[in-house]
Amino acid sequence: MTRKELTKLLDRYRVTDGKGFRLKHHDPDDTGGALVDKEQSETLLTAGVARLAELQPLLYAQDSWAMLCVFQAMDAAGKDGTIKHVMSGVNPQGVQVVSFKQPGPEELEHDYLWRVSLRLPARGNIGVFNRSHYEEVLVVRVHPELLDRQRLPTAVNGRKVFDHRLQDIAAFERYLHRQGTVVRKFFLHISRAEQKRRFLARLDTPDKNWKFSAGDIAERAYWDDYMSAYEEAIAATATPHAPWFVVPADHKWFSRMIVVEAMIEALESLELHAPVATDADRAKLAEARRKLEAEKD
């Protein structure tokens, strides 16, 4: 598979308009048909990581754009591993990975986007959200009792609270786009059967027992509710400037390849380049050279 073919394959998983979106139309077991196999994908992933490593310093040097990558998924879908593999070649100084847990006391004193705003990537940087503001329309939607901890006024805590949050998230991401932050959102779409297999593998492997908790099984009971919440969230917030990628995640080798290519595509669309020196800059460089050469060893 060529890079051009891989870029075209992205369109199969890209969602830029939520009208008519249905999660059932996306197969978690998909691997692109006969276009690519595991061995080819590993080669493409290696090349993709290398290309990302070339683009990141240009993003940093230009210091104009930022990129925010949002990862959402059910447990065991491979968020941590995908982030680790995709970002393995970049300079850590230009990347910030944030894992959002349950909000603490200080965070609950503010609106739900407050803690997210604090962790947005600076210009020239790549920000990675491992879970994100979308938890407020996913886990909180599935477990609405969590809203009680947020102490919202009765006047704004009605039956349309999640519809309003989706509207606010869409507006928030449009604002980020208008301020020079490229937003790409990835839903690693794992099947219930594959999640079961991975949970059992964690239980069977002592070194991976720490990854498993009883809460994982409890959340499986809400699978259909989560799928419905994801479907509504994606449909309400998918736009050309902040698209979702519904990435098949039953095969880790395939999902990682798709994610890195989507990031490369986004950065290449910015036409990044190193800053061009002005006449004044060149004069300063020439003076610096003169002073260095005049030094006595």
| Mean pLDDT computed over every residue of the chain | 93
Over the stretch 207-227, which tens digit does the pLDDT of each residue have?
Answer: 777 777 778 889 999 999 999
State the pLDDT at residue 176. Answer: 98
Q: Are 68 and 127 in contact (CB under 8 A)?
A: yes
Q: At 222, is the secondary structure helix, strand, or coil?
A: coil
One of 1.20.1250.20, 3.40.50.300, 3.40.50.410, 3.90.550.10 is the CATH number of 3-294, namely 3.40.50.300
Instruction: Provide the pLDDT for residue 55.
Output: 97
Please list the alpha-helical segments (H only) found in 120-191.
139-142, 161-178
Q: How confident is the model at residue 227, as a pLDDT?
A: 98
pTM of the model: 0.93
Contacts of 182 (CB under 8 A, 6+ apart): 65, 66, 67, 68, 266, 267, 270
228-281: pLDDT as tens digits:
999 999 999 999 999 999 999 999 999 999 999 999 999 999 999 888 888 898
pLDDT tier at 30 (50, 70, 90 boundaries)? Answer: very high
> Of 35-49, 101-115, 255-269, which range is least confident?
35-49
> Quick check: 227 and 23 in contact, CB under 8 A?
yes
pLDDT tens readout for residues 179-214:
999 999 999 999 999 999 999 999 988 777 777 777
Check: CB of residue 152 under 8 Å from CB of residue 161: yes
* In the predicted structure, residue 81 carries a pLDDT above the cut 70: yes
* Biggest distance spanned by C-alpha atoms of the chain: 77
pLDDT at 289 over 90: yes
For 116-171, the pLDDT digits (tens) are: 999 999 999 999 999 999 999 999 999 999 999 999 988 888 889 999 999 999 99
End-to-end CA, the chain: 55
Separation of alpha carbons 124 and 254, rounded Å: 28
The domain limits of the chain are: 3-294
Parallel, antiparallel, or unpaired: how do β-strands 181-189 and 66-73 relate? Answer: parallel
Q: Do the Cβ atoms of 73 and 249 come closer than 8 Å?
A: yes
Average pLDDT, stretch 8-22?
95
